[in-house]
Amino acid sequence: MSDLEQAWLDCWPRALAAWSPFTKLAPPRFCHTLADEVREDLTGSFAMIRLDDHAVVISLRQVAAHRLHAFGVEILAHEIGHHVYAPADLRDNARLLARVRAGLPSRERDAGLVANLYADLLINDRLQRSAGLDMAGVYRALKAPSADRLWQVYLRIYEVLWSLPSGTLIDADLTEEQQVDAALAARLVRSYARDWVRGAGPFAVLCLTYLLERPDDERGAFTPWLDAVGAGAGEQIPEGLADLEDDEEAPVHPAFDPALGGASLGGGETVGGVKNQHREPTQYVDLMKSLGVEIDERELVIRYYRELAVPHLVRFPARLAQQAEDPLPEGLDVWDVGSPVAQIDWIQSLVRSPHVIPGYTTYERVYGTTAGGQPARVPVDLYLGVDCSGSMSNPKLAMSYPVLAGAIVTLSALRAGARVMACLSGEPGQHTETDGFLRDEKRVLGVLTGYLGTGYSFGVLRLQDTFLGPEPPARPTHVLVVTDADIFHMLGQVKDGWEIAKRAAEVAGGGATFVLNIPNPAYHAVRIERLRAIGWDVHLVSTQQELVAFARAFSRRHYEAQREGR
């Protein structure tokens, strides 16, 4: 271990204590050579953090080259600050980046840079003022002339924050506008220190003017300081990003942000409320990519609809069977590593051998069954048919309410223990469906979030294939088809179309529902009644947004019916 490494390790407890006496974090990883840095993905900067494994990585090689030996506590405390203050975790990192991106139209690729600068300002100001660390000293040590106007403003912000004379951290003649921007940004950093995510958008707008003067991907003077641009990279998808937060869209320049108070700085802009409640799928995918999430785009779209569906989940209908079965212990069997850990009978395992070797000395109890007195709930399987003809929008481009409604019902069904078969159909033309009834959420949602854009309606022959073929579903199934008025044309055009629909509802055994998006139901009144007469429930919606409310009510209605024993 080098003297420098030992000295910086000795600084670690003080750096942790700068935030709180109770802060705990794994010790930093030190890189001594370029090869070490490459192994840790440390490029350009002399330090970095990773949120997914809570790592702090320091290049002692670059610390020595920049003559920063004396700033061990400052630099380590700064890196710790990224873990405990800004951005602190993957979700807040994603929220930060989302707001920064909203403030950087056409320069979204610089969102990582701007987010990093903003988080650094918050952290350094806290450490300089509250922890008494010499953060200014670090910048003074690396002081160099620069023609980069954003870099000039950035360092001037620190001078304003810490009441340092102009020229302490940057030798440059700043324009009046740069001076004002620095003063505004300093005020923003203080004003939003607690609710820091909300300040990110206005800060990005302030930076945009200067970014537009710079060449693409030019990081220049910022390079050594960019320690958190890849903080969110990895295979984890942060939760809760499908929804938009209030005032996230269209952030305003700090000069026109009333939240900054102080002076009456004019009314050129006002902070608007949220317009949409959710991101569009393309925005969601772009955000995840900018975070460095290494997951296929199609899977991200599935995740998007899943996130939007989760708040709406309710229990899926279950049918009462005559009798349930009570478990009857029948002895022990070797617990295999593929089985749930919770099934291990630890007492019996340790009685057999004090040395635990998974799969060899681990045992689980085996149960038989005996007839019980309580009725059991049998979940009804779900057949979900979704019209994916030319009249439906591509769920990858814009939020699709039929897909969201399908996701709500699907996830409810799976949660209740049912199996689901999904079928997208745009016929005449194409269809795609799962390979039978599945418990695999990803495969079902994968089909749902696909897109065909062919034909004019859901194909009634799909019901024939599934329910009237040689192997109809063995378990009671509810057939749910989401389509529009064109289904009547389909039922009339296909040979025995109405008869197929009637028999499919009978064979399914768990009920059948058509959800029809029809703006003028009176015009189709006769056909709607005919559907009801052949055993289908018909639910009418006049807008696609109503499908979400239907999806919730669908589960609730059936569940309540079962509870009443009907």
Partner 1 sequence: MSHQGPPLETLTRRLAECPAAFLAEGAHVEAVVFDLALDLGGEMTRVAPFPAEARGLVLVAAWLLHDPWFRAARRFAAPALAWLQRGLDALARLVPADQFVHDPDRREELARACLAALGLRPHGETEAQAADRLKTLDTVARDRVVQEMRTREQRARELREAMRRKAAEEAAARWSPE
Identify which range of 37-45, 248-256, 305-313, 403-411 contacts partner 1 by CB under 8 A: 248-256
Interacting residue with partner 1 among 255, 293, 460, 538 (CB under 8 A):
255
Which of 9, 13, 141, 179 binds partner 1 (CB under 8 A)? It is 179
Peptide bond into 87 cis (omega under 30): yes
Task: Give residues 328-357 in contact with partner 1 (rule: CB under 8 A).
Answer: none
CB-wise, 209 or 343, nearer to partner 1?
209
Strand pairing report for 381-387 and 477-484: parallel
d(CA 523, CA 540): 13
SS3 276: coil
Taking the complex as a whole, the smallest distance from the CB of residue 402 to partner 1 amounts, in Å, to 16
Choose, by CB under 8 A, the member of 51, 86, 205, 413 that binds partner 1: 205
Near partner 1 by CB under 8 A: residue from 268, 311, 338, 354: 268
Question: For tokens 């610390």, what's the residue?
Answer: 63
The CA-atom distances, in angstroms, between 505 and each of 465, 532, 533, 534 are 13, 11, 11, 8
Task: Please count the residues of this chain forming the interface with partner 1, following the rule CB under 8 A.
Answer: 43
* Contact between residue 135 and residue 72 where contact means Cβ atoms under 8 Å apart: no
548 binds partner 1 (CB under 8 A): no
From CA 143, how far away is CA 514, in angstroms rounded? 70
| Residue 160 found at the interface with partner 1 (CB under 8 A) | yes
Cα–Cα distance for residue pair 451/332, rounded to 1 Å: 49
Chain centroid to CA 241: how far?
4
Which window, 16-24, 65-73, 218-226, 251-259, contacts partner 1 (CB under 8 A)?
Answer: 251-259
Site residues (CB under 8 A) for partner 1, limited to 208-227: 208-209
For partner 1, which residue of 22, 53, 132, 264 counts as binding (CB under 8 A)? 264
| Region of 116-124, 195-203, 283-291, 534-542 interacting with partner 1 (CB under 8 A) | 283-291
> Can you tell me the distance from the alpha carbon of 191 to that of 181, in angstroms, rounded to the nearest whole number?
15
Supply the minimum distance, in Å, between the C-beta of residue 206 and partner 1: 10
Which residue lies nearer to partner 1 by CB, 128 or 477? Answer: 128
* Token output for 298: 């199609």
> What residues between 436 and 455 interact with partner 1 by CB under 8 A?
450-453
Tokens of 355: 């040395």
Question: Which of positions 88-127 make contact with partner 1 (CB under 8 A)?
Answer: 105-106, 108
Helix/strand/coil percentages in the chain, nearest 5: 45, 15, 40
Q: What is the 3-state secondary structure (H, E, C) of 63-92?
A: HHHCCCHHHHHHHHHHHHHHHHCCCCCHHH
Does 198 sit near partner 1 (CB under 8 A)? no
> DSSP labels for 527-542?
HHHHHHHTT-EEEEES
Could you list the residues that contact partner 1 (CB under 8 A)? 105-106, 108, 160, 163, 165-166, 176-177, 179-180, 183-184, 187, 205, 208-209, 250, 252-253, 255-256, 261-266, 268-269, 280, 282-283, 285-286, 394, 396-398, 450-453
